[in-house]
Amino acid sequence: MSQGAGDLLLLLAALLWAPGPSPTSSIHVYTQREVYGTVGSHVTLSCSFWSTEWISEDISITWHFQAEGSRDSTSIFHYAKGQPYIDDVGTFKERMEWVGNPHRKDGSIVIHNLDYTDNGTFTCDVKNPPDIVGKSSQVTLYVFEKVPTRYGVVLGSIIGGALLLVAVVVAIVYILRSCWLRRQATLQRRLSAMEKGKLQRSAKDASKRSRQAPVLYAMLDHSRSTKAASEKKAKGAPGESRKDKK
Overall size of the chain counted in residues: 246
pLDDT for residue 113: 95
- Superfamily classification of domain 28-148: Immunoglobulins (2.60.40.10)
pLDDT for residue 233: 67
The list of the chain residues with pLDDT below 50 reads 2-4, 8-24, 151, 241, 243, 245-246
Q: Are 97 and 112 in contact (CB under 8 A)?
A: yes
Neighbours of 246 (CB within 10 A): 4
Q: Which of 142, 118, 122 has its CA nearest to residue 62?
A: 122
- Quote the CA–CA distance of 29 and 166 in Å, as a whole number: 39
pLDDT for residue 190: 80
- Quote the CA–CA distance of 132 and 12 in Å, as a whole number: 32
pLDDT for residue 23: 46
In DSSP terms, which residues pair with 126 in a beta bridge?
A: 61
Amino acid at 179: C
pTM: 0.52
Asked whether the bond before 84 is cis by omega within 30 degrees of 0, the reply is: no
pLDDT for residue 246: 45
Instruction: Give 27-59 pLDDT, tens digit per residue.
Output: 999 999 999 999 999 999 999 999 988 998 999
pLDDT for residue 184: 84
